[in-house]
């Protein structure tokens, strides 16, 4: 059996994490609108809403807390699977993307073909939310472990901090470049900082665009738009498999 090249998973094209950030924003819009305030991707938002619901004695807190647990559990399971798949010498990225696509597919099927979800305490909506949160937990881990140097695609708070840092570093690098004799070192440093800014900005815009498109899809098509996220991640899984072949 030919061993999968371990470094190829670490260097995907920028389009891959950008598409994943689009999916995260898209899914977050759908879970927030369809599941009464659940943030599946930006799980910190679920912490805030759960805290507020605890104070207001809103029993919808159960779904938010269970989704947080599902996110963590999926992250742990995905980490273990990455280690096992690597040991087997298989295409790690393709397998983990397939896992995320499967979890998103279960979420989509549950909200499309299950009973109507009436409020945040509906058990069917809570169960569907667990699979959406699990998919985002899997995505968070696969980006962190398999896409070295890439920002997170589903947690934008840290990315906004990184964006501010990258902008400042770019200004200082440009200033040094102008004051210097345009040495090779200064040119390389400027290009490196500019590249980091492009990456963070692309992923942040991908999430924002995904959230906007997800909200629009929900408003115009209802739950029928949920499979879009499945199709994107499944397509990436097929791409990753072909790339590793």
Distance CA 71, CA 41 (A): 9
| Torsion angles phi and psi, residue 224, rounded to 5 | -65, -15
The pTM (predicted TM-score) of the whole model is 0.89
pLDDT tens string 169-187: 999 988 888 887 777 888 8
Query: What is the token pair recorded at 101?
Result: 């696509």
Residues 212-235, mean pLDDT to the nearest whole number: 97
Q: Which domains does the chain possess?
A: 15-244 (1.20.1250)
Q: Which of 7-21, 98-112, 164-178, 193-207 has the lowest mean pLDDT?
A: 7-21
Q: Are 34 and 223 in contact (CB under 8 A)?
A: yes
């Amino acid at each position: 059996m030919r061993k999968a090249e371990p470094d190829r998973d670490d260097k995907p094209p920028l389009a891959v994490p950008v598409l994943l950030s689009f999916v995260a924003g898209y899914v977050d819009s759908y879970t927030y609108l369809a599941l009464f305030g659940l943030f599946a991707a930006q799980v910190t938002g679920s912490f805030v809403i759960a805290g507020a619901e605890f104070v207001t004695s809103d029993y919808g807190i159960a779904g938010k807390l269970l989704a947080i647990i599902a996110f963590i559990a999926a992250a742990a399971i995905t980490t273990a699977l990455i280690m096992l798949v690597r040991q087997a010498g298989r295409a790690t990225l393709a397998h983990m993307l397939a896992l995320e696509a499967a979890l998103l597919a279960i979420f989509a099927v549950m909200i499309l073909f299950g009973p109507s979800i009436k409020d945040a305490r509906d058990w069917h909506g809570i169960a569907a939310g667990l699979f959406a949160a699990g998919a985002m937990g899997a995505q968070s881990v696969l980006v962190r472990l398999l896409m070295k140097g890439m920002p997170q695609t589903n947690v934008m708070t840290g990315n906004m901090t990184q964006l501010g840092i990258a902008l400042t570093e770019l200004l200082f690098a440009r200033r040094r470049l102008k004051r210097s004799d345009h040495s090779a070192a200064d040119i390389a440093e400027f290009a490196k900082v500019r590249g980091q800014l492009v990456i963070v900005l692309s992923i942040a815009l991908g999430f924002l665009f995904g959230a906007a498109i997800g909200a629009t899809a929900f408003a115009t098509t209802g739950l029928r738009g949920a499979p879009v996220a499945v199709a994107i991640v499944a397509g990436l899984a097929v791409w990753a498999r072909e790339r590793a072949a």
